[in-house]
Amino acid sequence: MAVIEVEKLSYTYALAETPALSQVSFTVEPGELVAIIGANGSGKSTLCYALTGFIPHFYHGTLSGRVRLAGLDTQTQPLAELVTVAGLVFQNPGNQISGAKFTVFEEVGFGLENLGVPRPEMRRRIEQALALTGIAPLAERSPFELSGGQQQRLALASMLAMAPQVLVLDEPTSQLDPLGSRDVLAAIQQLSRQGMAIILVEHKLEWIAAFADRVIALAEGRIILEGPPLAVLTSPLLETHFIGRTRYTQAAEQAQALDLWPAAQPLPVTLPEAVAGFQAARRQERMER
């Protein structure tokens, strides 16, 4: 059974003239990592807010359609109930720091305190979340002494400690270097393999190609493409809507135009796929000599 069900979702912010989302429908199964891509203003962040109940309970506008989280209707269930099912990591981690705690360890436990989680269980969850996000050595530091990338990991750890069924991440690697991005996305993928449903909004298409199970492309608030990473990320529609494509796809397409890419070889979206394609082209060239 799908843990996320989105049915004909449309939303227009108050005082806005055009909808931020229009007739969006999809489902997500437990253990699935779904990436959302799109140009700025395509509706990605709005979708994140709708998937976690911030729309309509915090942001007020015109909403139609339906979102269900583990069977709960986000329009009728209070936000206090929805936060136990779905967690949202904001694009700007500074917005997610409570300001009420002196250490990273205490900050990760802030949500658990509000839920009245028993102390031994709280400590176990905090330590597990800190280890998974790689910030256990920072446990006694002030949240405000952390770098932007460390704060992103802190925001993620705070959500993981809540043990949600659904995790929604709005550009969680925007302030991380390539190594940090890889580590965080590998941890996120590990969580999905353990059964958590994950929605990942991300601009770094190479990472999406490597980690996502499915990709949904948005443009002007509508879904224009949905499917496996290879099918979506090689589509010419991405260029049309200013989303772009991976560097590996672009390189192979240029090679294809020069007859340096095997005709039967699909365009790649990851480095291993690109290497395999160019190796096949080299073998073919040797056979033709």
The pLDDT tens digits for 160-219 are 999 999 999 999 888 888 988 898 899 899 999 999 999 999 999 999 999 999 999 999
Position 90 scores a pLDDT of 87
Question: What does pLDDT average to over the chain?
Answer: 93
In sequence order, the β-bridge partners of residue 62 are: 12
- Which two structure tokens, joined as six digits, stand for 255? 């090679």
**Is residue 64 very low, low, confident or very high in pLDDT (cuts 50, 70, 90)?**
very high
Strand 72-73 with 222-227, pairing: unpaired
Per the CB < 8 A criterion, the answer to whether 61 and 12 are in contact is yes
19-34 tens-digit pLDDT? 999 999 999 999 999 9
pLDDT given for residue 240 in this prediction: 95
Lowest pLDDT segment from 25-29, 55-59, 154-158, 175-179: 175-179
Q: For residue 160, what is the enclosing H or E element?
A: helix 148-161
pLDDT score of 5 more than 90: yes
Q: What is the pLDDT of residue 36?
A: 98
- What pLDDT is attached to residue 210? 95
Strand partners, 87: 167
pLDDT at 288 over 80: no
| pLDDT mean over 117-121 | 94
Distances (CA, A) of 135 to 17, 81, 101, 146, 167: 43, 28, 16, 10, 19
- The residues that bridge with 237 in the sheet, in sequence order, are none
The CA distance from 79 to 60, in Å, is: 14
pLDDT of residue 62: 96
Confidence tier at 43 by pLDDT (50, 70, 90)? very high
pLDDT at 285 over 80: no
Q: pLDDT band for position 221 (50/70/90)?
A: very high
Identify the weakest region by mean pLDDT among 26-30, 148-152, 284-288: 284-288
Residues 6+ apart with CB under 8 A from 106: none
pLDDT tens digits, residue range 235-260? Answer: 999 999 999 999 999 999 999 999 99
pLDDT at 287: 79
Give the model's pLDDT for residue 1: 81
Instruction: Transcribe 20-59 into DSSP letters.
Output: SEEEEEEEE-TT-EEEEEE-TTSSHHHHHHHHTTHHHHTS
The partner residues of 201 in beta bridges, in order of sequence, read 36, 170
- CB of 270 closer than 8 Å to CB of 258: no
Give the C-alpha separation, 144 to 156, whole Å.
16
DSSP per position, 75-117: TTS-HHHHTTTEEEE-SSGGGG--SS-SSHHHHHTHHHHHHT-
Mean pLDDT on 109-125: 93
In the three-class reduction of DSSP (H, G, I as helix; E, B as strand; rest coil), residue 134 is classed as coil
- Interval 85-95 mean pLDDT: 88
Contact 89, 156 (CB under 8 A): yes
Task: State the pairing for strand pair 214-219/197-201.
Answer: unpaired
Query: How far apart are alpha carbons 216 and 44 in whole angstroms?
Result: 10
As to burial, measured by CB atoms within 10 angstroms (0-12 exposed, 13-18 middle, 19+ buried), residue 167 is: buried
- Paired tokens of 99: 């300001």
Q: What is the pTM of this model?
A: 0.92
Confidence band of 95 (pLDDT split at 50, 70, 90): confident
